[in-house]
Amino acid sequence: MVRSQAGETLTIGKLAAAAGVGVETVRFYQRNGLLAVPSRRSGIRHYGESELRRLRFIKQAQAASFTLAEIAELLELDAGEDREGARTLAKSRIEASNKKIAELERARDSLKRLARQCGEGSTGPCPILSAFEAKKPRT
Amino acid sequence: MVRSQAGETLTIGKLAAAAGVGVETVRFYQRNGLLAVPSRRSGIRHYGESELRRLRFIKQAQAASFTLAEIAELLELDAGEDREGARTLAKSRIEASNKKIAELERARDSLKRLARQCGEGSTGPCPILSAFEAKKPRT
DNA sequence: GTAAGGTCCGTACTATGGTACGGAGTCAAG
DNA sequence: CTTGACTCCGTACCATAGTACGGACCTTAC
């Protein structure tokens, strides 16, 4: 039964290439339950749109600083249609993202200070360590 | 012999506690050249303000997404008073920080969308995967 | 003067996120 | 119907950033 347009049957190599990861990475995700291992019609497994979407999702989520464990959790919530759980997880992640963003902004400002103090002509101290002592406790 | 204000002689345990890290972490940093190993007057090594500052710096820089290798580099630049190098490194890190921040913001917005779509009453699909397909190609 | 607790040091182990390797099977082209 | 590329699978290995362990030594208090 040739169900569905065969246009969607990728081998693991094609799938990996399409998602911009390595074959080994796909296999790694399979081992870790992030990606289903499709059954095979013969010796070789075939993948479709959904796996590709999933892979891309994983990449996006990683870029968002999710760990693979968290991503797995998200995917499970999705599979289980657990709206409640998904919302909760999303909210806690939003919190975490905000924290991380604030942290990075603070750090970036320290770096800016550093770059300025070590500026072109100047001959002052350029104190890398103290550049990070950001908020002097001017209690 | 009580030489000098004994205020500044910390043992490794005190140092670690003061910086909010574990003793093993201090030793790990020493092994990796991030922290000098002070000579010892007797069997036990003693630490002062500068080591504490350095440790705190490392923590700050880590929060700023520097790797330990990069932090080591920064510390060397500091020691060598290499203004040029420090400025360059700082600038490249500022770039990286901006990128990371933007990435996190995008992710956070995806999460917000997700939380909203999975909102209280609705019974639709709550599509976690598509929540991350951020920029819908509304070509 | 001894017992508790801290330090010293090397080595080993952990978790995370892959990456590499080797042998066997499979598939498509020529 | 063979060759070469690709797949399958297990196992091993890598870097990063620690954490844990065990025996020896030191220090301090009682």
- CATH number at A58 reads 1.10.1660.10
- Chain A CB contacts of B84 under 8 Å are 118
Q: Which residue's entry shows tokens 């890290």?
A: B21
pLDDT of residue A122: 59
Mutate to test the interface with B, among A59, A71, A105, A111 (most CBs of B within 10 A): A111
CA B114 to the chain's CA centroid: 30
Q: Give the torsion sign (CA, A23, A24, A30, A34).
A: negative
Residue A44 lies in a domain: yes
**Distance between the alpha carbon (CA) of B116 and the C1' atom of C27, Å:** 48
- Chain D bases under 7 Å from protein CB? 6-11, 16-21, 25-27
Q: A23 lies in a domain?
A: yes
In the predicted model, is pLDDT for residue B135 greater than 70? no
Task: Give the pLDDT confidence score for residue B26 in this predicted structure.
Answer: 97
> Which of A89, A98, A128, A136 is best to mutate for the B interface (most B CBs within 10 A)?
A128
In-domain check, residue B2: no
pLDDT band of residue B121 (cuts 50, 70, 90) is low
Q: Is residue A95 part of a domain?
A: no
Is residue A139 very low, low, confident or very high in pLDDT (cuts 50, 70, 90)?
very low
The pLDDT of residue B14 is above 70? yes
> Does residue B60 share a domain with residue B19?
yes
Q: Nearest 5 degrees, angle CA A22-CA A13-CA B138?
A: 80
Q: Which of residues 20-79 of A touch B (CB under 8 A)?
A: 53-54, 56-57, 60-61, 63-66, 74-75, 77-78
Count of domains for chain B:
2
Classify residue B48: in a domain, yes or no: yes
| Among B34, B51, B55, B60, the residue to mutate for chain A (most A Cβ within 10 A) | B60
- Is residue B133 in some structural domain? no
Q: What is the pLDDT of residues B22-56, one digit of tens each?
A: 999 999 999 999 999 998 888 899 999 999 999 99
* Closest by CA position to B128, among listed A95, A88, A19: A88
Tell whether the model's pLDDT for residue B134 goes beyond 80: no
Q: Which nucleotide is nearest to B47 (CA to C1')?
A: C7
Query: pLDDT value at position B124?
Result: 63
Asked if the model's pLDDT at residue B97 lies above 90, the reply is no
- Is residue B75 within 8 A of residue B34, CB to CB? The reply is yes
A108 touches B: beta carbon within 8 Å: yes
Per residue in A33-48, pLDDT tens?
Answer: 999 999 888 889 999 9
Distance CA B26, CA B33 (A): 11
pLDDT digits (tens, 9 = 90+) for A59-95: 988 887 889 999 998 888 877 777 887 788 788 888 8
pLDDT (0 to 100) of residue B88: 83
Residue A58, nucleotide of least CA–C1' distance = C17
At A23, the pLDDT band (50, 70, 90 cuts) reads: very high
Confidence band, pLDDT 50/70/90 cuts, at residue B87: confident
Cβ separation A94–B108 shorter than 8 A:
yes
Given this model, what pLDDT does residue B16 score? 96
Q: Which nucleotide is nearest to B26 (CA to C1')?
A: D18
Average pLDDT, chain B: 82
Q: Tell how far CA B32 is from the center of its chain.
A: 16
How high is the pLDDT of residue A100? 85
Q: Print the domain residue range for B28.
A: 7-68
Least confident of A21-25, A60-64, A118-122, B110-114: A118-122
For chain A, the average pLDDT equals 82
Residue A53 maps to a domain: yes
Give the chain B residue whose CA is nearest to the CA of A126: B83
Assess A4–B contact: CB distance below 8 Å, yes or no: no
Q: Kindly state whether residue B51 falls inside one of the protein's structural domains.
A: yes
pLDDT at B138 over 70: no
DSSP A118: T
On the question of pLDDT at A11 being above 90, the answer is: yes
- Nearest DNA or RNA nucleotide to A47 (CA to C1'): D7
Work out the average pLDDT over A94-119: 84
pLDDT range class, residue A137, cuts 50, 70, 90:
very low
- Rounded to an integer, what distance in angstroms lies between the CA atom of residue B78 and that of residue B20? 23
